[in-house]
Amino acid sequence: MPRPVGANVSVADPTLFEHTRDQLRALCAGNGFTDDTRPVTLLRELLGPAGGRPLSAGPAWPTDVADDATPVEFSVALDDSGDRAVRILGETVGQPPGAAENVAAARRFLDRTSATLGIPTERFDTLADLFLPEEPQGTFAFWYSLIFRPDGAAKLKVYFNPAVRGPERAPELVAEAFRRLGLHDAYDTATQNAMVRGDADTFSFFAVDLDDDPLSRVKLYISHDAATSDDAERAAKAVVGVEPERIREFCEVLGGDTGPFTGRPLVSSYSFVEAAPDGPANYSLYLPVRSYVHDDAVARERVRTFLERHGADASTLDAALRAVSRRPLADGVGLLAHVSLRLGRYGTGTTVYLSSEAYDVPAPGTAL
């Protein structure tokens, strides 16, 4: 299917940057930003030379950030407090692209951004030699998340690949990363609660916030193949105060059932913060809604239902969808890629993840 037209794109063959820039501007405008210069500038830096590539030329690198190899994905975090954040998950692609070249380009982005915004890089430096070998394996080495709030400073989060030295070494890398960061009980907590089904539970990402806030997070993501809501509820019990019935409801409404989810897997994440040294402060469950609906119109209705049940402003969802694409929702699947539920002591809420669809729109009913 031809690619969709972004909210404000008017040229016949926009570049990747032009396409995603207009989507980002519309997302920011719909979420209370009075100035979108900072997000757009950082998006340009993140994309690098790949941003100047016309969409008609196709993706420069088969990135796994999005289904169609677009190297960015947008998300809107809707906190139960009413606060919002616009985020960009992205992979910096080298020129020429390649596994090692992409790492080098991403490190240059970090050098520039940390200097410009005063972002501390101690956590990155502590882990770099562990997760960034000379010959990285797997689908990626590391990605960035840029986090923007209307009245706050931009924040940066780094995602590392636990399987970057081979999947068999992922447990070793995760355990060592926690040790280096002084979180000596985190590995055991995570594995004892979320890694209990053998090869069906695997490490997906190891992520760190790059800031000095006491609530700055160290996050571990675990994929659960063919899992049920019971599996997610068991994993969530590692966090004090989590309501298991909300997790079950989330699966039932978003996934249409309590599982097993045999398409793309459910993903758990634990957030560890300095302010809560006794265990994970938050648990999040990520459900790849695109794998369990016929089209995006169905996905929209499911997400709206869940948001409305919990008093969230569901109109924010529609505004975000309009910001990213003008196409009829029933004409494709995957614009609403996945949804996460965040629970715990330091912030609860729902986040919707939106594909840019710069290169492709999967047809309705396509298994993703």
Residues 48-81 pLDDT 10s: 999 999 999 999 999 999 999 999 999 999 988 8
Cβ–Cβ < 8 Å for 352, 321: no
Tens of pLDDT, residues 270-324: 999 987 878 899 999 999 999 999 999 999 999 999 999 988 888 999 999 999 9
Specify the pLDDT at position 2: 43
249-254-259-263 Cα dihedral, nearest 10 degrees: -160
CA 207 to chain centre: 11
Tell me what pLDDT residue 274 has.
Answer: 83
What is the per-residue pLDDT for 16?
98
Place of tokens 């050098």: 111
How far is 45 from 278, CA to CA, in rounded Å? Answer: 38
The C-alpha atoms of residue 36 and residue 18 are separated, in whole angstroms, by 14
Q: Is residue 32 part of a domain?
A: yes
What is the rounded CA–CA span in Å between residue 215 and residue 79? 15
pLDDT at site 11: 59
- Does residue 48 sit within a domain? yes
The encoded tokens of residue 254 equal 């978003």
In a domain, 9, yes or no: no
Written as one letter, the residue type at 211 is D
Across the chain, mean pLDDT equals 93
- Residue 310 tokens read as 């919990």
What digits encode the pLDDT tens for the residues 119-134?
999 999 999 999 999 9
For residue 282, what are the CA distances in angstroms to 184, 217, 285, 295, 324?
Answer: 17, 10, 10, 31, 29
Position with higher pLDDT, 112 vs 80: 112
With respect to residue 8, please indicate whether it lies within any of the assigned structural domains.
no
Give the range of the structural domain holding residue 58, as residue numbers without chain letter: 16-355
Amino acid 153: pLDDT:
85
Q: What whole-number distance in Å separates Cα of residue 321 and Cα of residue 360?
A: 16
Is the pLDDT score of 4 beyond 70?
Answer: no
367, part of any domain: no
Average pLDDT over residues 173-199: 96
The residue assigned the tokens 């992409």 is 102
- Provide mean pLDDT across the span 214-224: 95
- By the 10 Å C-beta count (0-12 exposed, 13-18 middle, 19+ buried), 317 is classed as buried
- Give the closest residue to 70 by CA, choosing from 29, 25, 26, 15: 15
Please give the single-letter amino acid code of residue 309: R
Using an 8 Å Cβ cutoff, are 74 and 24 in contact? yes
List the beta strands (DSSP E) in the chain.
Answer: 72-79, 84-90, 142-148, 155-160, 201-209, 217-224, 266-273, 282-287, 336-344, 349-355
Maximum Cα interatomic distance, the chain, rounded to a whole number of Å: 55
**Number of separate domains in the chain:** 1
Q: Is residue 237 part of a domain?
A: yes
Q: Would you say residue 266 lies in a domain? A: yes
In degrees rounded to 5, what are phi and psi of residue 202?
A: -135, 150
Residue 10: pLDDT band (50, 70, 90) is very low
> What is the model's pTM?
0.94
In a domain, 270, yes or no: yes
CA distance 77 to 340: 9
Cα–Cα nearest to 338, from 250, 249, 226, 216: 250
